[in-house]
Amino acid sequence: MPQRLTPLEVSLLALDTSRTPGHVGTVTVLEPTPESGEIDHETIGALIESRLAYVPRYRQRVVAVPGRLAAPVWVDDEDFDLSFHVRPAALPRPGTPDQLRELVGQLLSRRLDRSRPLWEVHVVEGLEGGRMAVVEKAHLALVDGGDTVDLAQVLLDADEESSALGAPGAWNPALEPGPTDLVVGALWESAQDPVRAVDNLRGLVTGALGIALAVGEVVGGTLGTSLGDMAGDALRGGRPPAGSPLAGTVSPSRRFATLRVPLADLQAVHEAHGHTVNDVVLAVVAGGLRSWLMTRGGVGQSRRTLRALVPMSVLEDEAGTSSLGVQVAPHLQDLPVGEPNALVRLHQVAYSTKAHRDSGRAVDARTLTDIAGFAPATLHVLGVRVAAETVRRPHDVLVTNVPGPQLPLFAGGARMTETFPVVPLSAGHLLAVGVTSYDGGVFFGLTADREAIDDLDVLVQCLDDAVGDLLDTTDQVGRRQPTRAASPAARRAAASKAAARAEAARRRASVRRS
């Protein structure tokens, strides 16, 4: 009998609407090496085809049970067409990072086709320097960290030679069960395991309207999109608190921005003050949000903190296991955006995360970086799944932070030089932040609502400034180099912030003199 979707996976389908698509992604930049030669769409397509045997669900689609007697099932797609899922794209040569980010924003806005396996890879050629980008999208219901890891985890190699993980044979899809088979299977499962059947039924009944609409869409139902959107929104938990500056009605369009900072900068702060690199990352996010919100009218006195949902890795327990050896649990973290002092912000963040570290289940960064393959891609998905499952916990922003291997990885012989996580927006949330460390760099991927946030590049500059503010508290003062060229708008915002600081200093001086 085909594997049945869990109640969580069924809910994730319901939460996927035209305004809040339910996919997570990764933007990977590849640079050819002398050994690899030029790489193109065909190279990446052949690599993906050779690795699909290790992620069988990437060849499966979702099929509903007639009468909705049970949750839908995963079945092999007899008409699987790799060319539908691995698509070529190009930028006008030489393509710039800004052009790539604009394209990524457009790709993020499009939902995955529910009638096919729930993933896409867009191979973007034409980047300056002969580089290319791989933009991956995978549905939250597809990757569970147990039966299925993210495709990126099996694509990347630790050497330039694209060594196969074995020689997968020809794929022979299992015969798709007919309607009668699906009904009989559902009734048989109910008789064999009534407790599990009740759990599955409870998962289907919870938010029944939205889930029914989602399942109907899977099999090509004709129910209205707007009704599905409303039902999906109604099922979402964890909406932003009232008055949150990061709350609003989410549009169907997305904006994407990136930032790369040297890991050595964050490690210098870690070594100077004894807090973890994760604490430093969260302090950077807090400082960046503070400065950015000030350019938008200041931080209100009533909101001295913003609450972030920060999924954290924990040791497995008997309740669940994964192929990674770790689980992901939700953690609510207050970001002290009302605190003007960078070092005090860091101390406040570290104090808040100490309870997690002292729980006895925390997983250190070295354990995560030792997981086989490129685990951050899978762990980001698990983090977003946990966020979707975390109901009745209002938060302002989702922040996923996953440490990756500190050595170069290769795809088809080409070196991965950059990797930016793509975290989706949920209903009511206008911003999400993903962070991955890899090969000496820390890569921020920012997803924002395109209509509500037109100054995302200013936030990027503010995050970069926040790294500098923390580095100023160490003996590395003056050694830091800019990590990216700021846009004119970001430079104006930075200049405005500097002017505001100078004016505040003059006012303090005049008060002291008087």
Please tell me whether the peptide bond between 94 and the residue prior to it is cis, using omega within 30 degrees of 0: yes
> Which percentage of the chain shows pLDDT scores above 90?
50
118: pLDDT strictly greater than 90: yes
- Domains of the chain, first to last: 254-403+429-513 (3.30.559)
Confidence of residue 400 (pLDDT cuts 50, 70, 90): very high
Over residues 127-141, mean pLDDT: 95
Q: Which of 277, 307, 308 is nearest to 423 (CA)?
A: 308
- Alpha-carbon gap, residue 34 to 37, rounded angstroms: 5
Looking at residue 363, its pLDDT comes to: 53
Looking at residue 302, its pLDDT comes to: 55
- Alpha-carbon gap, residue 355 to 372, rounded angstroms: 28
Looking at residue 137, its pLDDT comes to: 97
* Mean pLDDT computed over every residue of the chain: 80
pLDDT in tens, 452-494: 999 999 999 999 999 999 999 997 555 555 555 455 555 555 5
**Which amino acid, one-letter code, is at 449?**
D
Least confident of 164-178, 252-266, 287-301: 164-178
Q: Which of 315, 368, 377 is nearest to 55 (CA)?
A: 377
Confidence of residue 344 (pLDDT cuts 50, 70, 90): very high
pTM of the model: 0.84
214: pLDDT strictly greater than 50: no
Looking at residue 268, its pLDDT comes to: 95
Q: Which of 86, 160, 89, 104 is nearest to 413 (CA)?
A: 160
- Greater confidence (446 vs 194) lies with 446
Looking at residue 222, its pLDDT comes to: 35
Tokens of 378: 């899978």
Looking at residue 212, its pLDDT comes to: 43
Over residues 272-296, mean pLDDT: 95
- Greater confidence (189 vs 207) lies with 189
Tokens of 383: 């983090």
- Alpha-carbon gap, residue 325 to 321, rounded angstroms: 7
Tokens of 413: 């012989």
Tokens of 333: 């973290």
Q: What are the helix (H) ranges across 274-341?
A: 277-295
